[in-house]
Chain A
Amino acid sequence: EDQVTQSPEALRLQEGESSSLNCSYTVSGLRGLFWYRQDPGKGPEFLFTLYSAGEEKEKERLKATLTKKESFLHITAPKPEDSATYLCAVQARENLIQGAQKLVFGQGTRLTINP
């Protein structure tokens, strides 16, 4: 069974204090690993997709990396507006004839950036 574990559950940082969020996964053949951001009262917002070990993607102060067992979301010099819950999800490489494949989500990391 595909599984995603995120750590820590919650993280509180000072503005400008860089850190990393972890996403460990087990999946029967990874097709893609996805990072989403969710603000309170809103739906998850897509950030990145990573497809193969060694791949990296960046967006503003965020950088996502991928290995064969885990992914990291690095946050450099965060600002209060980066406060949100960050969700990681995996998609298995199943029968592509079926089309879209489901995502399995982790529980998320709740990030708070204090000014």
Chain B
Amino acid sequence: DAGVIQSPRHEVTEMGQEVTLRCKPISGHNSLFWYRQTMMRGLELLIYFNNNVPIDDSGMPEDRFSAKMPNASFSTLKIQPSEPRDSAVYFCASSLSGLLYNEQFFGPGTRLTVL
């Protein structure tokens, strides 16, 4: 059974360019989470969706960041324009959420470098 799929695995771009990260959650999961991991700040939640609806985007750092989930099997995180301080590893996670189940399963991550 395929886990969470993320693409690209690595992205190098120049400051000011638009960056789009993609995520395919585990089939049947109804919640999707976007995280960012850096050495300084650790693992931070950016935004999460339940049943394709954004529930909490308080972790999104600025208006330059946006996320969408057009259907149950796909989500994007977009940064426009990108800046060097956005360099980090971005993880997508999914879960089957309910009263009993809460475990989140993470993808392999996208390592973003903004020059």
B13 within 8 A of A: no
Which of B4, B30, B48, B109 makes the CB contact (< 8 A) with A102?
B48
Q: Is the CB of B48 within 8 A of A106?
A: no
A103 within 8 A of B: yes
- A76 CB contacts on chain B under 8 angstroms: none
Stretch at the interface among B14-22, B49-57, B64-72, B74-82: B49-57
A39-51 interface mask toward B, CB cutoff 8 Å, 1 = contact, 0 = none? Answer: 0001111100100
Q: Is the CB of B97 within 8 A of A100?
A: yes
A115 within 8 A of B: no
Interchain CA distance A107-B41 in the complex, whole Å = 8
Q: Is the CB of A43 within 8 A of B109?
A: yes
Contacts A100-B97, A102-B56 hold; do A49 and B102 have CB atoms under 8 A apart? Answer: yes
B74-109 interface mask toward A, CB cutoff 8 Å, 1 = contact, 0 = none? Answer: 000000000000000001010101110011111111
Q: Is the CB of B103 within 8 A of A99?
A: no
Q: Is the CB of B31 within 8 A of A34?
A: no
- A103 CB contacts on chain B under 8 angstroms: 33, 45, 104
User: B95's closest neighbor in chain A, by CB?
Assistant: A100
Q: Is the CB of B91 within 8 A of A99?
A: no
Q: Is the CB of A43 within 8 A of B107?
A: yes
- Residue count of chain B within 8 Å CB distance of chain A: 27
Which of B42, B50, B106 makes the CB contact (< 8 A) with A99?
B50
Contacts A87-B43, A100-B50, A105-B43 hold; do A44 and B106 have CB atoms under 8 A apart? Answer: yes
Which of B42, B43, B102 makes the CB contact (< 8 A) with A100?
B102
Most buried by A among B30, B43, B99, B106: B43
Q: Is the CB of B102 within 8 A of A108?
A: no
Interchain CA distance A110-B93 in the complex, whole Å = 22
- B55 CB contacts on chain A under 8 angstroms: 98-100
Given contacts A44-B43, A100-B95, A103-B45, 15 further A-B contacts (CB under 8 A): A31-B102, A34-B102, A34-B104, A42-B108, A43-B91, A43-B107, A44-B106, A49-B102, A87-B43, A96-B99, A99-B97, A100-B30, A103-B104, A104-B45, A107-B42
